[in-house]
Structures are given as C-alpha cells and as structure tokens.
Chain A
Amino acid sequence: MPEEILLVFPSTRDAIAGERALLAANLPVKVMPIPESLSDQCGICLRLPPELLEAGQTVLSAAGIAIAGVYKLPTA
C-alpha cells in the first residue's frame, strides 16, 4: 500500500470544508477516521498522496482553512 499523508483539522467542520476545497481544486483527496494512534478523540481526517501535500496546503491556506497536523499514514 502506498504511503499517504494525513491532514488533521481543528474540527470536523474544518475537515468537511477542507475536503470540499480540495475536491474543488481537483486534488484526489480521500477520507478516513483519525487513527487511534494519533488521537483518542473522534474525528475525520483527509488523505492525500505525498507529492500533493504542498498543493493541498496551498489550496487550504487560500481558502482560510487551518490544519491542526500533518502525518504519514502509519502502515504495517
């Protein structure tokens, strides 16, 4: 499984807005619950291919959407 970058947001509302902004920019964003290894809080985070992290951050920044954290998707 190829590595993915996880984008974690301050709130689920931000994650929803972030997904919409990234989809509108034609970036192949995907969704998953925040892994337990990252947080014991419930929440949704977004997945991007590593090479599109910078493009994604630019889109989110332009849309005024804050990111709480960027992680590599833990794989086995």
Chain B
Amino acid sequence: MISIDATGLVCPAPMVKTRQAIDALPPHGGQIQILVDNQMAAENLERMSRAAGYGYLCTDRGGGRYGIAITVGTHTPETTDQPGIPLPHGEGGLTVAIGRASMGQGSEALGEILIKGFLYTLSQLDMPPRSLLFFNGGVKLVLSDSNALVDLQALADKGTQILICGTCVDYYDIRDRLGVGEIANMLEIVQEMARAQRLIQL
C-alpha cells in the first residue's frame, strides 16, 4: 500500500501524484491511500477511478479533509451502453499533445474543422485517452466559447485528464476564459508525456 499526503496541494497536483503512484504499482495492482483537503480533488480522483475501473472509497476525516482509498487490479472496467470504437490493443495509456487549434498542414480552415472532428472521435473511443495536453495555439480549443468544449467535457467526464499550459494561458491572457481542464506547469506536462504508453503529438 502506498500513502500520499496531498493536503495543501491544489489541482492537478493530487491527481498527478496519484497517477504516479498507480504507475508505480506492481502488475497485479494494489492499494493507494491519499489524504486531500479539498472536495474538488476528491471528486476528480473519484471520476478518474470510476473511468479506469478502480475501486474507490472516500472517508470524510472532518475539517474539510478526505481520506481516499483507490484499489487497482481487483476490478474490471465499467462497460458503457454506447458501442464505442475498439482500440487495437484494448488498453488505455494514450496521451495526445495538442499544440495547435488545427490538424495537419495545408489548409488552415480544413485543419480547424478536422481537429474538432478528431476530438469528438476521441470521446467515442472505448477507452478514452489518459490525458490531453494543450499548449500554445492549442489552448484555443479549451476556451469557454470553443465549440469543441462539449466533446472535451465528455472526455473529462470519462476520466481523461485535460492539462493546459499555464504559461500559454498567461501569454494569451485567457485565464478567465477557460472552459475545461486544469492549468499545469511544464514539469507536469513533461511528466505526463514521459509517462504515456503512447503519445500522439498533433
């Protein structure tokens, strides 16, 4: 069993630490106990656990603190009613890094509509991506007026972690216009890339 004290940490740090601990578990799984002091962190961990099929138990420790136990390896992932698109390897661990609000080179107008079709299709995968990383021009897609927002929210609801480059958000001065996801620093983005079983760079 691994214990994590994530009190005093704000999102996405509790999630990042938990994922690191899950990655460090032996192949047969195990249990991770996390202490957090905000409800948002507890809810994020519950959503992630449900999507991945992990056991989740939350105990109110009082004073705004929650003790969370996540059990990996003794549960099978929940199935959904909607038929999805099977992945070739039948496993998650996919991270998609999105640095532009367009897909491919050539026509910008074509690329801008293609990437929205891409994000919708990602949301239909049986096993949604582990994480989406948005930086530079890609952050345009996560703004509250983006018409890809509903599909990104659907991914977040399925447990996909959406990390947004904080430097980029400040550079474009759009911190108050974000519609989905969590601000992340470069270290968190690089750690997520390094941890990915498969990384797609758009």
* Chain A positions near chain B (C-beta within 8 angstroms): 1, 12, 15-16, 19, 23, 28-33, 44, 75-76
| Minimum CB distance partner of A1 in chain B | B82
Partner of B113, one of A1, A31, A75, A76: A31
Question: Are A30 and B151 closer than 8 Å at their CB atoms?
Answer: yes
Question: Are B147 and A31 closer than 8 Å at their CB atoms?
Answer: yes
Say whether chain A's binding surface is mostly helix, strand, loop, or mixed: mixed
Question: Are B148 and A31 closer than 8 Å at their CB atoms?
Answer: yes
* Residue B24 CB within 8 A of the other chain: no
A27 to B: closest C-beta gap in Å: 10
Question: Are B117 and A33 closer than 8 Å at their CB atoms?
Answer: yes
Question: Are A28 and B113 closer than 8 Å at their CB atoms?
Answer: no
Within 8 Å CB of A44, what residues of B?
113-114, 117
Report Cα–Cα, A12/B112, bound state, in Å. Answer: 12
Max chain B C-beta neighbours (<10 A), residue from A19, A29, A31: A31
Within 8 Å CB of B117, what residues of A?
31-33, 44
Partner of B110, one of A16, A29, A76: A16
| Minimum CB distance partner of B115 in chain A | A31
Report Cα–Cα, A8/B82, bound state, in Å. Answer: 23
* Residue B106 CB within 8 A of the other chain: no
**Contacts A/B (CB < 8 Å), 15 sampled:** A12-B110, A16-B113, A19-B113, A23-B147, A30-B147, A30-B148, A31-B113, A31-B117, A32-B116, A32-B121, A33-B117, A33-B121, A44-B114, A75-B82, A76-B83
| Minimum CB distance partner of A23 in chain B | B147
Given contacts A75-B82, A76-B83, contact A15 B148 (CB under 8 A): no
Partner of B109, one of A16, A28, A33, A75: A16
